[in-house]
């Protein structure tokens, strides 16, 4: 008996609650759903009291689209966009900005349903449950807004551009190349000082520079780097690195080495051969790209968020059924401005170079293989010695004339 009494009291309480709600509902029959073209319930408006479907594109709010709605107790409103693939359910509330849901100026039709108190509570609970499920899934799939930055004004530059070698990452390898020769014979019966015939030869200075990790600025910027060299020829090898993107630059420059006549003292009948040898260096290393970014960039971020709703989704048996659907939709544009003041940035690069470093002149007695050698100094007589000099410049290095006594 005690259990039955409690059930009876509970049932009476529910009936009293529904009766009270029904009374309030009956007294509130003059309420209606109101649609507004502007936010905060401004601008042209349209209203609906009974069950109906409104074509919003042909209504009073069609000029700028639907932006806010007042939904009183007892009403459920279903907004659907033009294609019919997306919709949203709204229960009792004053929605002053549909943009918060991604529906500002987006709805094409509005389906208005008017329910009794009991029916409304059931429908409102259903709408709330849908919102909870969608909200939970949105949070699971997307924990932050996303947006594309659209730059409208850019005044950014990279200052103090420089390239520095990375310590401990420089390698060198040398090789000797026999590049040319000429013969000289004393045809007299007396010791003579004779002059050899001049000759020349050509070799290439080559260089390859790679930006492996760029600074990434959209501003076109580059810097020159003089590769550390060895040898007596004072050859300058330089290259440029692109700060903006990872790329490789390869260049080559032909250098002509001119060997002048040599003064050589010979015994009667003695024959010698004048030879030139070029020492070439192959070098490689790493560099650090350094710069400071200054300036400003401004524009806007086209903010998007994931909008979830009930819509048609495919089933495993290739049919369509109602389910949760999601779509990234733009809902707001936020201005932004980036300011850079001596913001230090670094990139990385590598280089490989091959160049002539030392020039040797040998005078060899062809009968005894006796050799006298001098390391020649060379001076630039024309053009740019660097690997990346202008192609129209002829590059020439002239060795100094030497004096040899092959009678000793």
CATH 2.60.20.10 fits 31-141, yes or no: yes
Beta strands in 13-141 (DSSP E): 33-36, 45-48, 52-55, 68-71, 75-80, 87-90, 93-95, 109-114
Least confident of 7-11, 69-73, 116-120, 323-327: 7-11
CA-based R_g, the chain, Å: 44
CATH tag, 154-293+341-405: 2.170.15.10
The torsion defined by the Cα of 395, 399, 400 and 405, in degrees rounded to 10, comes to -160
**What are the φ and ψ backbone dihedral angles of 238, each rounded to 5 degrees?**
-130, 155
Query: Which of 293, 291, 159, 162 has the alpha carbon at shortest distance from 223?
Result: 162
Condensed to tens digits (0 to 9), the pLDDT of residues 71-92 reads: 998 899 999 888 776 778 888 8
Gap between the Cα atoms of 359 and 356, Å rounded: 8
Q: Average pLDDT, stretch 216-234?
A: 65
Gap between the Cα atoms of 261 and 263, Å rounded: 7
Residue 271 pLDDT: 97
DSSP 8-class letter at 30: T
Share of the chain above pLDDT 70, in %: 74
Enumerate the CATH 2.60.20.10 domain ranges in the chain, comma separated.
31-141
Residue 341 pLDDT: 82
Q: Average pLDDT, stretch 186-214?
A: 87
Query: Contact at 8 Å (CB) between 207 and 387?
Result: yes
Residue 134 pLDDT: 53
Q: How far is C-alpha 361 from the geometric centre of its chain's CA atoms? A: 53
Condensed to tens digits (0 to 9), the pLDDT of residues 48-66 reads: 988 999 998 888 887 568 8
Enumerate the CATH 2.170.15.10 domain ranges in the chain, comma separated.
154-293+341-405
Residue 385 pLDDT: 44
Gap between the Cα atoms of 3 and 238, Å rounded: 98
Q: Average pLDDT, stretch 359-365?
A: 93
């Amino acid at each position: 008996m005690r259990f039955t009494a409690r059930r009876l009291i509970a049932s009476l309480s529910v009936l009293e609650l529904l009766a009270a709600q029904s009374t309030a509902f009956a007294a509130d029959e003059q309420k209606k759903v109101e649609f507004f073209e502007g936010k905060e319930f401004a601008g042209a408006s349209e209203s609906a009291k009974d069950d109906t479907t409104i074509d919003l594109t042909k209504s009073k709010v069609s000029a700028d689209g639907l932006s806010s709605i007042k939904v009183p107790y007892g009403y459920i409103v279903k907004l659907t966009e033009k294609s019919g693939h997306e919709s949203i359910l709204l229960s009792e509330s004053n929605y002053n900005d549909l943009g918060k849901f991604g529906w500002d100026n987006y709805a094409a039709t509005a389906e208005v349903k008017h329910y009794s108190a009991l029916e409304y509570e059931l429908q409102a609970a259903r709408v709330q449950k849908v919102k909870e499920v969608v909200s939970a899934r949105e949070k699971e799939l997307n924990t932050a807004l996303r947006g594309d930055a659209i730059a409208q004004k850019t005044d950014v530059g990279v200052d103090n551009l420089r390239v520095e070698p990375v310590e401990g990452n420089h390698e060198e390898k040398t090789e000797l190349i026999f590049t040319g020769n000429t013969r000289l014979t004393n045809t007299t019966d007396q010791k003579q000082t004779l002059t050899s015939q001049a000759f020349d030869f050509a070799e290439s200075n080559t260089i390859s520079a790679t930006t492996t990790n760029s600074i990434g600025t959209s501003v076109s910027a580059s810097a020159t780097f003089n590769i550390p060299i060895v040898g007596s020829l004072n050859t300058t090898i330089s290259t440029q690195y692109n700060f903006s993107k990872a790329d490789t630059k390869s260049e080559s420059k032909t250098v002509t080495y001119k060997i002048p006549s040599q003064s050589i003292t010979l015994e009667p009948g003695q024959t010698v051969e004048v030879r030139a040898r070029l020492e070439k260096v192959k070098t490689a290393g790493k560099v650090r790209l350094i710069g400071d970014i200054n300036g400003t960039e401004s524009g806007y971020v086209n903010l998007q968020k994931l909008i979830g709703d009930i819509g048609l989704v495919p089933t495993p048996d290739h049919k369509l059924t109602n389910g949760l659907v999601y779509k990234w939709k733009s809902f707001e544009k936020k201005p932004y401005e980036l300011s850079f003041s001596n913001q230090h940035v670094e990139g990385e690069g590598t280089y490989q170079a091959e160049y002539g470093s030392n020039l040797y002149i040998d005078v060899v007695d062809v009968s005894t293989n006796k050799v006298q050698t001098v390391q020649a100094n060379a001076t630039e007589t024309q053009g740019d010695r660097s690997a990346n000099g202008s192609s129209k410049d002829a590059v020439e290095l002239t060795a100094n004339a030497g004096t040899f006594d092959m009678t000793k």
